[in-house]
Amino acid sequence: MGQPVATRVAATPTVGKAMLNKYARAFFTRVLTPFAAFLIRRGVSPDTVTLIGTAGVVAGALVFYPRGEFFWGTVVITLFVFSDLVDGNMARQLGRSSRWGAFLDSTLDRVADSAIFGGFALWYAGHGNDNVLCAVAIFCLASGQVVSYTKARGESIGLPVAVNGLVERAERLVISLVAAGLAGLHTFGVPGIQWLLPVALWIVAVGSLVTLIQRVVTVRRESAEAEAAAAQHDASQGSEAAK
């Protein structure tokens, strides 16, 4: 999901950015430019495309995944992924950049993530009949939100939070959605492939925990360094004033 290009670059990677590498994004951006221009002529705003894209991801996750239809759910989510490219393309053509766009983008990213892992949890709590995997999916949902919060909170108090975590948002989504799509092939007669999703959820859960620890440790170190630098600055200022 997205907004004006200037804010999208600085924002957390979205579902589309997670699933499409830079070369694929460049290709589809060129392909989707005429469609983006058509929407602009029709008076459709990038915000509207962002909202529709998020609604599609949420619907794909919460309608299909709780019923165990992982293949078709992933197909629907993938189709709506392209809204991320369309709204960014529209913003570039309009020459817009706004803090509101960055806020909306980031907020709806959290909604989409929650729907995806919530869909997994609903399946395992229901017909999937596996309370352990339900708990793992819920942990993936919660830890993903906290991992994002730690960076946002650290930056809000003036720290760079300069760390590349083991499993950040892009990795969480790629691992989970690819595994879900492949696991869904079990309904088409592919044997044993349904175990890919449980394995992926465990990988995401452990990786998210490691990433959370990495970010907390980084913020603690950066905070101590900032406070030490501030204390040194105050001391030097005091000595200068005493002269």
- pLDDT tens, 50-102? 899 999 999 999 999 999 999 999 999 988 877 777 887 888 888 876 778 77
Per-residue model confidence (pLDDT) at position 241: 67
Q: Domain for residue 235, yes or no?
A: no
2 and 91 in contact (C-beta within 8 Å)? yes
- Tens of pLDDT, residues 173-184: 999 999 999 999
| 12 pLDDT above the threshold of 50 | no
Sign of the torsion angle spanned by Cα atoms 173, 174, 178, 179: negative
Q: Does some domain include residue 197?
A: yes
Q: How far apart are CA 139 and CA 107, in angstroms?
A: 19
Residue 142 above 90 pLDDT? yes
Mean pLDDT of the chain: 86
**pTM, full prediction:** 0.82
In whole angstroms, what separates CA 1 from the centre of its chain?
Answer: 9
Helices 22-41, 83-94: inter-axial angle, 10-degree rounding = 60
User: Distance between terminal CA atoms of the chain?
Assistant: 57
Higher pLDDT, 100 or 42: 42
| Burial (CB count <10 Å: 0-12, 13-18, 19+), residue 189 | exposed
Band the pLDDT of 18: cuts 50, 70, 90. Answer: very low
Cα distances (Å, whole numbers) of residue 120 to 3, 18, 43, 223: 28, 19, 37, 37
Q: Is the dihedral of CA 53, 180, 115, 128 positive or negative?
A: positive
How far apart are the C-alpha atoms of 15 and 100, rounded to whole Å? 19
**Residue 151 within any structural domain of the chain:** yes
The domain containing residue 106 runs over which residues? 17-230
Q: Is 113 a catalytic residue?
A: no
pLDDT above 80 for 36: yes
pLDDT band at 159 (very low <50, low <70, confident <90, very high): very high
Q: Does any domain span residue 242? A: no
Q: Among the options 109, 113, 130, 234, which is catalytic?
A: 109
Across 214-228, average pLDDT: 94
Question: 125 lies in a domain?
Answer: yes
Give me the number of domains the chain comprises. 1
pLDDT for 128 equals: 95
Q: Is residue 12 part of a domain?
A: no
Q: Which residues are annotated as a binding site for Mg(2+)?
A: 84, 87, 105, 109
Residue 135 has pLDDT above 80, yes or no: yes
Q: Which residues are annotated as a binding site for a CDP-1,2-diacyl-sn-glycerol?
A: 47-50, 88, 92, 98
In a domain, 8, yes or no: no
How much is the pLDDT for 65?
98
More confident residue, 206 or 83: 206
Q: Which of 211, 179, 183, 187 is nearest to 19 (CA)?
A: 179
Residue 219 burial by CB count (10 A; 0-12/13-18/19+): exposed, middle or buried? buried
What pLDDT is attached to residue 9? Answer: 42
Residues 243, 239: Cα–Cα separation, whole Å = 7
The answer as to whether 165 is a domain residue is: yes
Output the pLDDT for position 16: 52
- Please report, for the domain that includes residue 85, its CATH number: 1.20.120.1760
Per-residue pLDDT band at 7 (split at 50, 70, 90):
very low
C-alpha 106/C-alpha 58 separation (Å) is 15
Known binding residues: 47-50, 84, 87-88, 92, 98, 105, 109
